[in-house]
Amino acid sequence: MKPSHNSLPFLLLGIFFPVLGILTSGCQTTIPAQGFKRPLVSSQVSHYGGSPLSGEIALPPPPRESFIPVSVTFVALEDFPVDSLSPLSENASLILNAGSTNPFLSTGRLTRAIRMTRSDQEIKDIKADLEQGRFGSHAALSTLVGSVAPGITSRFTLKSVVSRRIPNWYERIRESMELELHLKEAKKGAIVAISVHGVAPAEASKNDDDPDATPTFLDQEGQRQTLVEETTLIETQADSGATQALLVIPSPFASPSCRFIATFVSWKPTPPEPGSAGFSAHEAHVSRALHDLSRRKSEDDNEEPDTSGLPAQLALRQGLQGLENPDTRRNSFAFLSRSTKASLAENLSLSASDPFLKELSRRLLGPLAASRHALTEDKLGWIIEKAAYKLLADLQKEDSITPSLEALLVAHAGEAGRSGELIGDVLQQVNGIEELHREWIQENLIFLEDRSPSARLRAFDWLTGQGKVLEGYDPLGPREERRESLRNLVQVSGVQP
């Protein structure tokens, strides 16, 4: 059977809600020990066009053959040895606190204890331990089956059936947890998002009189608690080897005897063939997904959909807010630049000073706001990267650039990065990150004929680091020998200084 272009992602699904396939029937029929109370929850699977980053957007329906099946099984656990698996936070690209004045978090409260594995052997061993009661009592909560295609997200939801009132709170709450699986376009991998809505220990407030502070309350043990809605996102690259994963999530539900929710996810890299076992069921799930997509169609049918599955909408809805907030500026800038492959900007987010990032963010907000209706990943990345180079070039021309910032410029642009005027000229000639990188290579090839030995040496070293083979060229050799070597390079490999 010809591999489908979908086979890639769910792959790293393991990074999120992934989990091995449907549990064995033994697990589902295990009788919980007396006194074990499983959470009373409802479950639902739904689908939408777009990603957890972009939100719901209008998309043309994908062809039926592009969908692949995915299943998620939730199991309530009395206990689990959390140290036996790796923390999910090690792979998180973004952690959000919905509804907060500080939406970007360095670590979550409800999601920090999530554990994950994609190892077939580890999942097999954990299932065996589960059947033997090594985690205490357990009870299967729900098995959901969905279908996903490039550009589409499947959402698997568990929600408390009964709402509850908590002391001094203005409304009743229903705890929930949600897993979203998004297949990227063009075999680029997947985006996985886990959202948990529940009660967590309240953090100490710097200002008890702050009207924007999240309300808190005392639980039955006298501990101060608050409501939290956190979302953790992971972006993965294509990995056709993975077909299952397991996430162990601290339970947000009000059931003292259920401490964890084991989430087993499995997927097939290709759809079943017509006439094979499971084909009819898969077709039914595809029809359900297409129905969800048609129901969620954008009100503006004339607007051309953005099918790139990018964080552009995140940049508008939360990234811009993060850039304006000093407490979240560095984290949001790092995420935006990393997601759009703006490599210089990403390095700056890690090493530049707070005043520098403040000025860079100020320069970004105007272009980002002006492009909000036409942003794609490439456009967003170029806006960010161009602003970073422009600010550094301005500092260089003013002779106020620090040695560490100039070193970053040289690392990314080679000898061309030592001239603010040249950087400015190049930025006016190119219109994208890849095009800019090609121009830096061309400029450094020109520097191989520079009169300055140190300039030639720096350009040669940078080009070598970029994988350019300049066989026979010696930056410190006699002029005629250097020129002869460059002429030979042009004839043999097409390198054009």
- What is the pLDDT tens value at each position of the chain, 497 positions in all? 333 333 334 333 333 333 333 333 333 334 444 568 888 888 999 998 887 766 777 778 889 999 999 999 999 999 999 888 888 777 666 666 655 555 555 566 667 788 888 888 999 999 999 999 899 999 999 999 999 998 889 999 998 887 776 665 555 677 888 888 888 765 567 778 888 887 767 665 544 444 445 566 666 666 777 777 778 777 766 554 567 889 999 888 878 789 999 999 888 888 888 888 888 899 999 999 998 888 765 443 444 444 344 444 544 455 556 677 777 788 778 777 877 888 999 888 888 888 998 899 888 877 766 655 556 777 888 889 999 999 999 999 998 998 888 888 989 999 989 888 999 999 988 989 999 998 998 888 888 888 888 888 888 888 888 887 677 778 888 887 778 777 766 544 444 44
> What is residue 208's predicted lDDT score, i.e. its pLDDT?
45
Contact 329, 358 (CB under 8 A): yes
Element (H, E) at 177: strand 176-183
Q: How many CB atoms neighbour CB 476 within 10 A?
A: 10
Cα–Cα distance between 383 and 323 in angstroms, integer? 14
Tell me whether residue 121 is exposed, middle or buried, using C-beta atoms within 10 angstroms of its C-beta: 0 to 12, 13 to 18, 19 or more: exposed
Cα–Cα distance between 247 and 22 in angstroms, integer? 14
Q: Which residues of 403-434 are buried (b: 16+ CB within 10 A; e: fewer)?
A: eebbebbeebbbbbbbbbebbeebbeebeebe
> What is residue 385's predicted lDDT score, i.e. its pLDDT?
92
Question: What is the sign of the dihedral through the CA atoms of 415, 421, 427 and 428?
Answer: negative
> What is residue 67's predicted lDDT score, i.e. its pLDDT?
92
> What is residue 465's predicted lDDT score, i.e. its pLDDT?
83
> What is residue 186's predicted lDDT score, i.e. its pLDDT?
56
Cα–Cα distance between 110 and 466 in angstroms, integer? 43
Cα–Cα distance between 280 and 425 in angstroms, integer? 60
Contact 104, 317 (CB under 8 A): no
Instruction: Give me the phi and psi of 420, to 5 degrees please.
Output: -65, -35
> What is residue 215's predicted lDDT score, i.e. its pLDDT?
62
> In 68-124, where do the E strands start and end?
68-77, 86-87, 94-97, 115-117
> What is residue 444's predicted lDDT score, i.e. its pLDDT?
86
CA 339 to chain centre: 7
Task: Find tokens 């066989």 and name the residue.
Answer: 471
Question: What is the sign of the dihedral through the CA atoms of 479, 484, 488 and 490?
Answer: positive
Q: Which two tokens stand for residue 237?
A: 């690259």
Q: Cβ neighbours of residue 17 under 8 Å, at least 6 residues apart? A: 72, 156, 179, 180, 181, 192, 194, 245, 247, 263, 265
